[in-house]
Amino acid sequence: MRSPLLSLPGAVPAEGRDEGVAAHYGDLFREQRALADGAGLVDLSHRGVIAVTGEDRLSWLHLLLTQHVSDLPPGQATEALILSAHGHIEHALYLVDDGETVWAHVEPGTQDALIAYLESMKFFYKVEVADRTADFAVVHLPAGSIAVAPEGVVVRETAYGRDLFLPREGLEAYAAAHGPTAGILAYEALRVEQHRPRLGFETDHRTIPHEIGLIGTAVHLQKGCYRGQETVARVQNLGKPPRRLVFLHLDGSEVHLPGHGDPVRLAEEGPEGRQLGFVTTSARHYELGPIALALVKRNVPVDAPLLAGTTAAAQEVVVEP
Per-residue pLDDT tens over the stretch 146-164? 999 999 999 999 999 999 9
At 279-321, the pLDDT tens digits run: 999 999 999 999 999 999 999 999 999 999 999 999 999 999 9
- Could you report the per-residue pLDDT of 13-29, keeping only the tens digit for each? 999 999 999 999 999 99
**Residue-averaged pLDDT of the chain:** 97
Report in angstroms the alpha-carbon separations of 318 from 75, 237, 245, 303, 321. 29, 20, 6, 13, 9
Rg over alpha carbons for the chain, rounded to the nearest Å, is 20
* Closest by Cα among 47, 58, 61, 56 to 19: 47
Question: What distance in Å separates the CA atoms of residue 269 and residue 275, rounded to the nearest whole number?
Answer: 10
Is the per-residue pLDDT at 1 higher than 90?
no
Instruction: Give yes or no for residue 220 having a pLDDT over 90.
Output: yes
- The SS3 assignment for 60 reads helix
Cβ-count burial 166-192 (b if 16+ within 10 Å, e if not): bebebbeebbeebbebbbbbbbbbbbb
Selection from 244, 243, 255 nearest residue 289 by Cα: 255
pLDDT (0 to 100) of residue 252: 87
Percent of the chain with pLDDT over 90: 96
- pLDDT tens digit sequence for 162-207: 999 999 999 999 999 998 999 999 999 999 999 999 999 999 999 9
The pLDDT value recorded for residue 85 is 96
CB 5 within 8 A of CB 162: no
Nearest by Cα to 41 from 175, 152, 198, 191: 175
Instruction: Give me the pLDDT at residue 90, please.
Output: 98
Query: φ and ψ at 18, to 5 degrees?
Result: -100, 20
From CA 221, how far away is CA 308, in angstroms rounded? 34
pLDDT of residue 224: 79
Give residue-wise pLDDT tens across range 40-85.
999 999 999 999 999 999 999 999 999 999 999 999 999 999 999 9
Alpha helices in 194-320 (DSSP H): 229-237
Confidence of residue 255 (pLDDT cuts 50, 70, 90): confident
Under DSSP, the state recorded for 147 is P
Residue 289 CA to residue 23 CA, distance in Å, equals 18
Q: Does residue 144 register a pLDDT over 90?
A: yes
